[in-house]
């Protein structure tokens, strides 16, 4: 469309938020969706990728990565397949295009197309959850799943209503979305049920997905409460020693703290404060002095047996993946992870043995329980942060916070 024609077209269609969507014919007579905006016009393809682009010769970026997945699975049983943070960001941007078109299709009551785009987004969310390299990427889009699932359910129920299958539509809607107040009435008619279905997803339609990976996060104490913010979600939690431990670890990403240091900070200072790499504070040394060494966590024989078992398990894992025996591979991988965690807790930097004692064991148990309890409380308030901390906080004789290098978090501890 030429500039003069566009101005004429916009002049003939003044912006009206209640009447700003229509279906038109493109230059090649295909149907397209036009959305009148206050300062111009948006255009969506009805089929395929909403912006009409083809990615690497395929319908969408999601289709491209699915093809990668299938090719890898056929060649070597999925070894080496994952989605980088860049892949996940690009897939998210594409999913927003589908979501924006879904909203427009919903207004046009094109329920088959709404169901198609909702199902596409749900498959994409599951694909990222299964294959993202970074734990944070696996849960980012999962927060969006309930809203899309509700929209998908409403679209399916509307399709059944259009086919005259009222009872099936009612049953399906109640199973997936829950009971409506309108259902309590005696046999509501099609129009009443359709209105109730649309009303049930009004909030879901308004929740536009956003990624906040670069947003500053808060972990701030105010008297007996903490203000915590992460990826746009906020919580106010009552003070606890476990939260104090987390705050100290978050302040110094990548640094290992012995449990005696964490306990001493709690006892002597009452709050996380900066500690030098080699603590010069005499009171801190005195508080930690009770944790005398009583030998390594694992002796040489135990470490050798662990390493032999790891070698056997890795061979078994490779064989299971080669024969696509996913159950056997998962079982072997689970044992590999367990042994790796045990070795990590027993061996420090540069392969040095970590020491243990009965006092240190009691400290390890107490600190680990407090940290895990605090993470569980935070996860109940902000699920995505609970997943992040569970994946990135290592607790044991030495505790550490290790954010993924591709998904660093900027924490702010004062307002």
How many domains, in total, are found in the chain? 3
Instruction: Specify whether 121 is located in the same domain as 189.
Output: yes
Residue 61 counted as domain residue: yes
Residue-wise DSSP of 192-234: HHHHHHHHHTHHHHH------TTS-EEEEEETTEEEEEETTEE
How far is 51 from 109, CA to CA, in rounded Å?
Answer: 20
Residue 192 counted as domain residue: yes
Which among 277, 226, 269 is positioned nearest to 252, based on CA atoms? 277
Cα dihedral 19, 25, 31, 33 sign: negative
3-state SS of 240-292 is CHHHHHHHHHHHCCCCCEEHHHHHHHHHHHCCCCCCCCCCCCHHHHHHHCCCC
Residue 11 counted as domain residue: yes
Instruction: Specify whether 198 is located in the same domain as 51.
Output: yes
Return the pLDDT at 133: 86
Residue the block writes with tokens 């044992």: 335
Instruction: Specify whether 394 is located in the same domain as 253.
Output: yes
How far is 401 from 165, CA to CA, in rounded Å?
Answer: 55
Sheet with 411-412: list strands edge to edge: 233-238, 225-230, 217-222, 411-412
> What number of residues does the chain have?
415
Residue 223 counted as domain residue: yes
List phi, psi (to 5°) of 182. Answer: -65, -25
Q: What is the pLDDT of residues 267-316, one digit of tens each?
A: 654 444 444 444 434 444 444 444 445 556 566 776 777 778 888 888 88
Q: Of the residues 166, 185, 206, which one is the last residue of a structural domain?
A: 206
Return the pLDDT at 354: 60
Instruction: Specify whether 107 is located in the same domain as 172.
Output: yes
Return the pLDDT at 285: 45
How far is 108 from 198, CA to CA, in rounded Å?
Answer: 13
Return the pLDDT at 414: 82
Residue 310 counted as domain residue: no
Instruction: Specify whether 362 is located in the same domain as 253.
Output: yes
Instruction: Specify whether 143 is located in the same domain as 284.
Output: no
How far is 103 from 91, CA to CA, in rounded Å?
Answer: 19
Instruction: Show the domain range for 99.
Output: 47-206
Return the pLDDT at 199: 82
Find the largest Cα–Cα distance for the chain. 86
| Reduced DSSP (H G I as helix, E B as strand, rest coil) percent helix, strand, coil of the chain, to 5 | 60, 15, 30
Per-residue tens of pLDDT for the chain, all 415 residues = 444 467 777 888 888 888 889 888 877 788 899 998 888 889 999 999 999 999 999 999 999 999 999 888 888 765 678 899 899 999 999 999 999 999 999 999 999 999 999 999 999 999 998 899 888 888 878 888 888 988 998 999 899 988 888 888 887 777 666 655 555 445 556 777 888 888 888 888 887 777 665 678 999 999 889 999 998 889 999 999 899 999 999 999 988 888 888 877 666 544 444 444 444 344 444 444 444 455 565 667 767 777 788 888 888 888 877 777 766 777 778 777 777 776 676 665 555 666 555 667 788 888 899 999 999 999 999 988 998 999 899 988 889 999 988 888 889 998 7
Helix (H) or strand (E) holding 409: none
Instruction: Specify whether 98 is located in the same domain as 177.
Output: yes
Return the pLDDT at 93: 92
Instruction: Specify whether 65 is located in the same domain as 126.
Output: yes
Instruction: Specify whether 119 is located in the same domain as 228.
Output: no
Instruction: Specify whether 289 is located in the same domain as 390.
Output: yes
Return the pLDDT at 268: 54
Q: In Å, what is the CA distance from 145 to each residue of 46, 99, 343?
A: 23, 12, 37
Residue 87 counted as domain residue: yes
Return the pLDDT at 41: 87
Return the pLDDT at 81: 85
Which among 80, 200, 81, 98 is positioned nearest to 141, based on CA atoms? 98
Structure tokens at 268: 């002597």
- Whether the model clears a pTM of 0.75, i.e. scores above it, the answer is no
How far is 65 from 132, CA to CA, in rounded Å?
Answer: 12
Return the pLDDT at 2: 43
Residue 317 counted as domain residue: no
Instruction: Specify whether 186 is located in the same domain as 242.
Output: no
Instruction: Specify whether 20 is located in the same domain as 159.
Output: no
Residue 169 counted as domain residue: yes
């Amino acid at each position: 469309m030429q500039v003069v024609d566009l101005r004429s077209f916009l002049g003939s269609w003044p912006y009206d938020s209640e009447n700003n969507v229509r279906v038109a014919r493109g230059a090649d007579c295909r149907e397209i969706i036009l959305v009148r905006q206050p300062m111009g016009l948006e255009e969506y393809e009805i089929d395929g990728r909403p912006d009409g682009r083809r990615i690497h010769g395929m319908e969408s970026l999601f289709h491209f990565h699915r093809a990668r997945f299938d090719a890898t699975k056929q060649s070597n049983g999925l070894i080496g397949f994952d989605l980088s943070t860049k892949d996940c960001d690009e897939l998210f941007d594409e999913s927003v295009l589908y979501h924006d078109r879904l909203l427009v299709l919903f207004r046009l009551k094109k329920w088959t197309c709404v169901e198609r785009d909702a199902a596409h987004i749900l498959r994409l969310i599951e694909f990222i959850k299964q294959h993202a390299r970074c734990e944070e990427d696996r849960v980012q889009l999962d927060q969006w799943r309930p809203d899309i699932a509700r929209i998908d359910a409403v679209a399916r129920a509307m399709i059944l209503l259009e086919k005259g299958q009222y009872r099936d539509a009612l049953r399906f809607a109640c199973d997936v979305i829950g009971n409506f107040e309108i259902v309590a009435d005696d046999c509501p008619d099609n129009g009443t049920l359709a209105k109730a279905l649309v009303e049930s997803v009004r909030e879901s339609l308004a929740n536009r997905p956003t990624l906040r990976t670069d947003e500053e996060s808060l972990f701030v104490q105010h008297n007996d409460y903490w203000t915590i913010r992460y990826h746009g979600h906020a919580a106010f939690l009552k003070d606890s020693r476990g939260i104090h431990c987390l705050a100290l670890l978050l302040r110094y990403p990548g640094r290992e703290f012995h449990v005696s240091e964490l306990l001493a900070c709690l006892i002597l200072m009452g709050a996380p404060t900066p500690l030098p790499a080699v603590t010069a504070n005499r009171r801190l040394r005195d508080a930690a002095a009770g944790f005398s060494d009583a030998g390594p966590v694992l002796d040489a024989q135990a470490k050798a047996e662990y390493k032999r078992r790891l070698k056997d398990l890795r061979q078994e894992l490779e064989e299971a993946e080669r024969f696509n025996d996913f159950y056997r591979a998962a079982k072997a991988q689970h044992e590999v992870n367990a042994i790796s965690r045990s070795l990590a807790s027993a061996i420090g930097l540069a392969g040095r043995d970590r020491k243990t004692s009965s006092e240190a064991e009691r400290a390890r148990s107490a600190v680990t329980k407090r940290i895990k309890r605090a993470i569980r409380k935070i996860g109940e308030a902000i699920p995505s942060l609970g997943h992040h901390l569970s994946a990135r906080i290592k607790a044991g004789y030495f505790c550490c916070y290790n954010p993924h290098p591709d998904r660093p978090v900027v924490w702010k501890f004062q307002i």
